[in-house]
Amino acid sequence: MSYWPLLGIAVVVAGFALRLNPALVVVAAGLVTGLVAGYGPLGVLELIGEAFAKQRYLAIFLLTLPVIGLLERHGLKERAQAWIRRMRGATAGRLLVVYLGARQLTSMLGLTSLGGHPQTVRPLLAPMAEGAAEARLGDLPEASRERLRAMSAATDNVGLFFGEDVFIAFGAVLLMQGFLAESGIQLEPLHIALWALPTAICAFAIHATRLLRLDRRLAREAAALLAQASAKSDRKDAP
């Protein structure tokens, strides 16, 4: 057995460690894996073409990616930030709580593709959260900005993960039903989905609390940055 095709994993790890473009890293890893496995450049392209034709989700991804890129280039992030700044009482934490609830509810209905990191978090949710925070606190430290982006991505993950288990036709629910049936425990998918509701409610309450605490943490960090700037200004003005 040849382990050389596993070099693709090393490419992914190195690319993410260097913070390169994720799409380019994944494509490069696929090319490296195919070439090392003995496929030529045309063979790798043929495999990608077959997957494109057979798997509809890949076609949707490849069509969606350039559309999102064009929207970002023409000011999607800036428009989202400007819109959220005009909303009174909007904070980053409150915005993310609303998104968390919407993400969970739509996932419970099986609409898992309505959100996601590439199509929602990166171009819309994270910029809107940053805009809401900057409207109240001013310029954010870079560490606060990165934390806010990470929390935006985590909010999408939590909403999807704990919402989709309530959907009776979700693959994991059917997998659990089949596993329990092999052990002699007969359960309907509806019963499994209903027992996922308490977990989903607890996940919403816990993560919403974290998001509201995030507002206070961002306020403290912004105040500390302002105090440092004021102290530097005083030292410069001192004789």
**Number of other residues whose CB lies within 10 A of the CB of residue 231:** 10
226 residue type, one letter: L
- Whole-number pLDDT of residue 16: 83
Query: Which distant-in-sequence residues (6+ apart) come within 8 Å of 100 by Cβ?
Result: 155, 158, 159, 204, 207, 208, 211
First to last CA, the chain: 75
- Whole-number pLDDT of residue 148: 92
Residue 22 CB-density burial (10 A; 0-12 exposed, 13-18 middle, 19+ buried):
middle
- Tell me the domain boundaries of the chain: 4-54, 76-237
- Whole-number pLDDT of residue 68: 62
- Whole-number pLDDT of residue 238: 55
- Whole-number pLDDT of residue 63: 59
CB 218, CB 148: distance < 8 Å: yes
- How do the pLDDT tens digits run along the chain, 239 residues long? 677 778 888 988 898 888 887 778 888 888 888 888 888 888 887 877 776 665 555 555 555 666 666 666 766 667 766 767 677 778 899 999 999 999 999 999 888 888 888 778 888 888 889 888 888 888 888 888 899 999 999 999 999 999 988 887 777 777 778 877 887 888 888 888 888 899 999 999 999 999 999 989 988 888 887 777 676 665 665 55
- Whole-number pLDDT of residue 149: 92
